[in-house]
Amino acid sequence: MISTTLLSQQDRKEHYRKIYTLMDEQGVDGLLVSGDGPIKYVNGEYAAGWGVFALIPRQGEPIFFQGNEGREYILTPVRKNAADYWIKEFDVMTFPNIVKAVRDKGLDSKTIGLNLEALPMGLYMAMQDCLDQLHVKIKDISEPFKTLRRCKSGGYLKIIEEAIDIVDTCVRELPGLLHTGMYEYEVKGILENIMIGRGAENTLILVNADPVDISSPAIPADHKPRALREGDLMVVEITVCYRGCWLQKIAVYSFGEPKHEYREMFDAVDEAIRDCVKMVKPGVNAKDLVNAIDDQIEAKGFLSARKDFISGPCGHLSGYEMDEGTFSPVKDFYLEEGMLFVLHPAAALPGWEPGKPGIFGPGTMFLVTENGVKSLNQTINEIYVI
């Protein structure tokens, strides 16, 4: 695992070129952004987290704010590791400090863009009162700023490769660690240990073990503890956040040989992914991709998740956020070079309802390239028999 900073100054230059273009297009004089993904985008791989804000003026140097009154020590590691950060100016996150920075950056009586989707209502109202003192106008730039972050390039592609290796390692190692009598939350713990041991900063592990219906993976803590039993199927959504990159793999395990109908459902989903992803290239509508996949699943005699069957979405973009745009069979969404996405369709037997035979996944990550698409996971899709 490489330990150096993977995003270069060239990456910073490209990110800020896009940020300044966004400001010009939106008619704002600066940005005040928050949220883990947005902060990673403007500050490189580090110094992100809940409660961090970054102020980026159209002219002049940016500043970020972290911690709060009484927790000023949080900036001590920032001072010690300042070379890792793109933004070299920082302060404690207080409203007076933001007011001072807005004034120092010449943004009083100007228009500032906020990604309001990242702000709880109370925090937004307090922020608005703070900026009103300076006669600052606020404009919501949530959607255009999200769009700006969707296409990956440069050093971020190396981060993607390392993150993919983490989830693939989980898929490969898990069969040798599973046994009946183990609880679902223990499966979650095993996977988290692997990922954290590989440098993950965050994880999301969803598990669904059941002898019949594994169509909807869930957090193990949302129901009473359940031990794994012979005859169970188990779907695991293995999601990692590594150096500011969220991606995942959906794997299916069986405690004993699975019934023929489950292999048929699994193979129908897997084949639909492999066949239909070939249509992907820049400019392709994700709506057409979703419908092509579901058409093929339904042609095999199964229900797809677009009708008569409730399961997760067929796919979505990923990267700075876990879901940077959900694919839908009824909404247009055009793919561009550099978009990172996962496909995880589902299938069920006719007459499905919760508790009847259904399966979610497998799920695989892809990257839209200049001329087509690249499959990223090095683990194959199969039902791993324990």
Q: Which amino acid is at 287?
A: K
Question: What are the DSSP calls for 335-351, one per residue?
Answer: --TTBEEEE--EEE-TT
The structure tokens listed for 117 are 């989707």
Residue with tokens 């003192």: 133
Q: Radius of gyration (Cα) for the chain, nearest Å?
A: 23
Residue 230 CB neighbours (<10 A): 10
Q: Give the CA count within 13 Å in the CB-facing half-sphere of 315.
A: 31
pLDDT of residue 340: 98
CA angle 251, 146, 284 (to 5 degrees): 65
Domains identified in the chain and CATH numbers? 9-148 (3.40.350.10), 156-385 (3.90.230.10)
- DSSP structural state of residue 366: E
- DSSP structural state of residue 121: H
Task: Report d(CA 91, CA 97) in Å as an integer.
Answer: 7
Alpha helices in 213-285 (DSSP H): 260-276
Alpha helices in 277-320 (DSSP H): 286-299
List per-residue pLDDT tens for the chain, 386 residues long.
445 789 999 999 999 999 999 999 999 999 999 999 999 999 998 866 567 999 999 999 999 999 888 888 888 888 998 899 999 999 999 999 999 999 999 999 999 999 999 888 888 898 889 899 899 999 999 999 999 999 999 999 999 999 999 999 999 999 999 999 999 999 999 999 999 999 999 999 999 999 999 999 999 998 999 999 999 999 999 999 999 999 999 999 999 999 999 999 999 999 999 999 999 999 999 999 999 999 999 999 999 999 889 999 999 999 999 999 999 999 999 999 999 999 999 999 999 999 999 999 999 999 999 999 999 999 999 999 99
pLDDT of residue 70: 84
pLDDT of residue 1: 45
Phi, psi dihedrals of residue 175, rounded to the nearest 5°: -55, -35
3-state secondary structure of 251: strand
Containing 13, the helix (H) or strand (E) segment is helix 9-26
